[in-house]
A and B are shown apart, each in its own frame.
Chain A
Amino acid sequence: MIADIKAFLSDFLVLGDPLIYGADISIVLSMVAIVFVLSYFKKWKWLWKEWLTTIDAKKIGIMYIIAALLMLFRGGIDALLMRSQITFPNEGFLDSQHYNEIFTTHGTIMILFMAMPFIVGMMNVAVPLQIGARDVAFPYLNALSFWLFFVGAMLFNLSFVIGGSPDAGWTSYTPLAGAKLDPGPGENYYLIGLQLAGIGTLATGVNFMATILKMRAPGMTLFKMPMFTWSSLITSLIIVFAFPVLTVALALLTIDRLFGAHFFTIASGGSPMMWANLFWIWGHPEVYIVILPAFGIFSEVISTFSHKKLFGYKAMVWSMVLISALSFVVWLHHFFTMGNTAAVNSVFSISTMAIAIPTGVKIFNWLFTLNKGRIEFSTAMLWALAFIPNFLIGGLTGVMLAIAPADYQYHNSYFLVAHFHSVLIGGTVFGMFAALHYWWPKMFGHVLNEKLGKISFWIFMVSFNICFLPMYFVGLMGMTRRMYTYPEGLGWMPLNVVITIGAFGMGIGFIVMVYNIYWSARYGKRDKTGDPWGGRTLEWATTSPAVEYNFAHIPKVETADAFLHMKEKGTTGQISKAPFKPIHMPNNSGKPFIQAWLMFFAGFGLVFEWYWLAIPAAAATMLVMAFRSFEYHDHHYIPVEEIERTESATGRLN
């Protein structure tokens, strides 16, 4: 009996690695600390009522962003562990298995659990306000989306202390990721964790498409929408058409692993290449899902801080539409070297290079927006300005990689690693940091400190280049990605030392940013106006942070840059002008939270093939959905007196 339990625990828990023991201890300690703080300050009820059951898009957005920052921290630690291992030749800091696990979790977390929630969070914070709506189309579904993402991320992160992390890379190529070569729960964690989060993202896509198409303020035609809203619409469209492919790919591999099917096996007629195709038919549009919203943010920030209308509005929109279409016809460039004919490679080579055209159009539009503008070097603007050259380096090396014959030289080298980090950090992460500084007052009612913001910007941006520029060269020298160590005498060491210094520099930049968040929360300048930057779009028309119902009266829109137009006409007061009408709002609900955690347990059961857990949890999930279907009293009206009280508290009532 005791021997049985011992045997079970030695599989269930990850034993024998001091790093993991350290993680175990820190996880337990931080859980205890959270429980203690919540109990000591009697905050449990507050947590449940204000956050866990909220269906307010603004709060859901904040939760997404907090989760994204935590995941950025986790993924960043993974990156620093990897860099520590390969700074010098023949190091023994991590063994090969541990290194495999870390590059897998680093990639997966950074794309799916950092970039995605950061973007969806910004969409939740800004889109309803920008279109003059009171919430998203389906607030309940929105909360469910968030909690599905959250439990998916939790499940994935649990792997490294319980059962072992996935270790087949974030692309999880078969047959390596199949049951035969990679038994155990690790890959199951990857499959189920991503499945849960992916379903949440798909629902977000549906939600924001409906929101933007149907809930815009009167007068806001499609071509008067703010550029971030445009980018969110197109991103949602890509999500709706790309994420089901991921759902299928993950489900098929899960069925292969758990039920012995043969989609991707070598034996019995399976086709391992099918996985590569399905994965990248989702995976390449995914790249544009994480970059287009950043493009939208740069358009907003550059226009605002140049104090000038965005140059080439229509060209911006159509180039995004073109990018979204092209994003679905380039997937094969991820495996030029995996045995396609020259004709097939040529087609995908050309379609890939074609994407540089609309992207180039956008770069020129930003430059022409800056041209003769009155440029204000705020922190948000610095991130946007740094984006242009840094992203350009990533984009141009992307065109180099798109040339199929040349790709045989670069493929899977550090040149590739440097390329996609240039676009993902220089594009997406810079974009999210710009958005964080730009919309922070709208989320929390105070401005982030500019001086600390600029310090963190310069440290991070310079370190980013110290880290990734040498990577191009070490890649051209022959260093391949995912190698856990290398012998002496290849001449790679000096560059690797520089890269590691840059990586730690980015860590320091991030710490300064976190300190800025802490400092500004305590001492930062409060934003009483609701319009700290001289904004042009409707999110600045309401208070900071926005009241529960966003706008007491839905603003009427006549032009693009609607709020700027209102300010010029002196009609900004109309939003808070009495008399009011009762406002229809959806009720908070604990069901999304409960349903998502039931799905977590169903998923956990599948990871360990414990069907006694998976089946009841799945059945309970269905039950919650049935309860929701029978729920008819799920909304309320905010009475006029309460609106008057809220509005006069903001000092806007006139």
Chain B
Amino acid sequence: MSSVASNQSNKPYEPLEYSTEDGRLRILGFWIFLGAEIVLFSCLFATYLVVHSHTAGGPTSKELYDVKEFMIETFLLLISSFTCGLGTHELRRHNAKGIIIWLIITLLLGLGFIYMEVNEFVKYATEEGATVGRSAFLSGFFVLVGTHGAHVSLGILWMTSIIIQLAKRGVTAVTARKVFIVGLYWHFLDVVWIFIFTAVYLTGMVL
């Protein structure tokens, strides 16, 4: 389609989201912002690891974490990252309908993830007496994992608004940039989750 057309003009292939000055600027700006996000999560990880053993007689990570549940959470989020990537693939083909379908699937997987996480938190709090105020370990756990969850929730709202804009306006340089950036955000959250999976859950099952 029009991506083919742009190839005829002797210029190297340029994705639509990079085709305007504004688009290039905002994508760079978002990468820089993700750099800041890495620092933010690093601090939360460091804090969690420092207080991991400070359970103050309350439940420990070994007692709390449930392998089946966090494995399902992990698969939901990892698959959602893949479907989000398929959305970007459709973006390169300028196929608005395809993008919307894959983004909606991404959203549903994200919602499933959030549902499981909320259930997990509620179960800890009600059944195990594990609340944010119980011990330093639990403060660290809830704030680290909860910050990631809050990011995913915000991402769901954000992606919803972009799906609406895409449905209204089709694939333009502006909507393409928006899809691309929300995709960056979503993949980034996936990367953070991989660290939570290893540093919080897997490590927490062993130590």
Residues of A whose CB lies within 8 Å of any CB of B are: 137-138, 202, 205-207, 209-210, 213-215, 240-245, 247-249, 251-252, 255-256, 259-263, 265, 267-271, 274, 278, 281, 622, 626, 629-630, 632
> Could you say which residues of chain B place their CB within 8 Å of the CB of A268?
54, 56, 58, 133-136
Name A629's closest neighbour in chain B (CB-CB). Answer: B161
Residues of A within 8 A of B54 (CB): 262, 268-271
Contacts of A202 in B (CB 8 A): 36
Interface residues of B in 30-68 (CB under 8 A from A): 32-33, 35-37, 39-40, 43-44, 47, 50-51, 54-56, 58
Q: Give bound CA distance, A142 to B195, whole Å.
A: 33
Neighbouring B residues of A214 by C-beta, 8 Å:
24-25, 28
- Given contacts A214-B24, A262-B135, A629-B161, A269 and B29 within 8 Å (CB-CB): no
| A residues less than 8 Å from B29 (CB atoms) | 137-138, 206-207, 209-210
Residues of B within 8 A of A241 (CB): 35-36, 39
11 A–B contacts, CB within 8 A, in A order: A206-B33, A210-B29, A213-B28, A214-B28, A244-B36, A247-B40, A252-B47, A270-B139, A278-B47, A630-B165, A632-B169
| B136 and A271 contacting across the interface, CB-CB below 8 Å | yes
Q: A207 → chain B, closest Cβ, in Å?
A: 7
Interface flags, B145-183, vs A, CB<8A=1, else 0: 000000000000110011011000100001000100000
CB-CB under 8 A from B24, the residues of chain A are: 214
Once A260-B133, A268-B136, A270-B136 are accepted as A-B contacts, the answer to whether A632 and B174 lie under 8 Å apart by CB is: yes
Q: Contact: B43 with A248, CB < 8 Å? A: yes
Contact of B132 among A206, A207, A251, A255 (CB under 8 A): A255
Chain B residues engaging chain A, CB cutoff 8 angstroms: 24-26, 28-29, 32-33, 35-37, 39-40, 43-44, 47, 50-51, 54-56, 58, 132-137, 139-140, 142-143, 157-158, 161-162, 164-165, 169, 174, 178
B28 touches A210 (CB 8 A): yes
Give the distance in Å from the alpha carbon of A278 to the alpha carbon of B139 in the complex: 16
Let me know if B25 and A210 touch, CB within 8 A.
yes
Choice from B26, B35, B136, B178 contacting A269 with Cβ under 8 Å: B136
Q: Give B26's nearest chain A residue, CB to CB.
A: A138
Complex Cα gap A270–B133 (Å):
11
Residues on the B chain within 8 Å of A249, using CB: 43
Given A214-B25, A629-B165: A240 and B32 interface contact (C-beta under 8 Å) = yes
Which one of B43, B56, B143, B164 lies within 8 Å of A244 (CB-CB)? B43
CA gap between A267 and B37 in the complex, in Å: 30
Determine whether the beta carbon of A245 is less than 8 Å from that of B39: yes
Question: A531–B147 Cα gap in the complex (Å)?
Answer: 51
Given contacts A206-B33, A629-B161, contact A271 B50 (CB under 8 A): yes
Report the nearest B residue to A632, measured CB to CB.
B174
Q: Is the CB of A262 within 8 A of B136?
A: yes
How many angstroms between the C-alpha atoms of A629 and B163 in the bound complex?
A: 12
Nearest chain B residue, comparing its CB with the CB of A260: B133
> How many angstroms between the C-alpha atoms of A205 and B33 in the bound complex?
9
Given contacts A269-B51, A274-B50, A629-B161, contact A259 B36 (CB under 8 A): no
Whole-angstrom distance between the alpha carbons of A138 and B136 in the complex? 40
Known: A243-B36, A262-B136, A268-B56. 13 other contacts (CB 8 A): A245-B39, A248-B44, A249-B43, A259-B133, A260-B133, A261-B139, A268-B134, A271-B50, A271-B54, A278-B47, A626-B161, A629-B161, A629-B162
Query: Given the complex of chains A and B, what is the CA–CA distance between A241 and B39 in angstroms?
Result: 6
How far is A145 from B14 in the complex, measured between Cα atoms in Å? 32
A629 to B159, CA, bound (A): 11
Bound-complex Cα distance A241 to B36 (A): 6
A212–chain B nearest beta-carbon distance, Å: 11
B139 and A248 form a contact (CB under 8 A): no
Contacts of A281 in B (CB 8 A): 43
Which residue of A is nearest B168, CB measured?
Answer: A630
With both chains docked as a complex, state the minimum distance between the C-beta of A247 and any C-beta of chain B, in angstroms.
Answer: 6
A-B pairs, 9 with minimum CB distance: A269-B54, A269-B136, A260-B133, A261-B139, A244-B40, A248-B43, A244-B39, A269-B56, A268-B56
**A263 near B139 (CB under 8 angstroms)?**
yes
Q: Which residues of B contact A629 (CB under 8 A)?
A: 158, 161-162, 165, 178
- A209-B26 Cα distance, complex, nearest whole Å: 12
Please name the residue on chain A nearest to B146 by beta carbon: A255
Q: How far is the CA of A242 from the CA of B142 in the complex (A)?
A: 23
> How far in angstroms is the closest Cβ of chain B from A68?
24
Residues of A within 8 A of B36 (CB): 202, 205-206, 240-241, 243-244
Is A137 touching B25 in the complex (CB atoms < 8 A)? yes
Partner of A206, one of B32, B158, B165: B32
CA of A249 to CA of B28, assembled, Å = 27
Minimum distance in angstroms from B10 CB to a CB of chain A: 22
Complex CA–CA separation, A202 to B174 (angstroms) = 25
* Known A-B contacts A138-B29, A271-B51, A632-B174; A259 and B161 likewise in contact (beta carbons under 8 Å): no
Once the chains bind, are A622 and B174 in contact (CB under 8 Å)?
Answer: no
Chain B residues near A137: list those with CB within 8 A: 25, 29
What residue of chain A has the Cβ atom nearest to residue B164's Cβ? A630
Q: Contact: B143 with A255, CB < 8 Å?
A: yes
B residues near A622, Cβ cutoff 8 Å: 157
Contact in complex: A262, B43 (CB < 8 Å): no
Once A241-B39, A248-B40 are accepted as A-B contacts, the answer to whether A269 and B135 lie under 8 Å apart by CB is yes
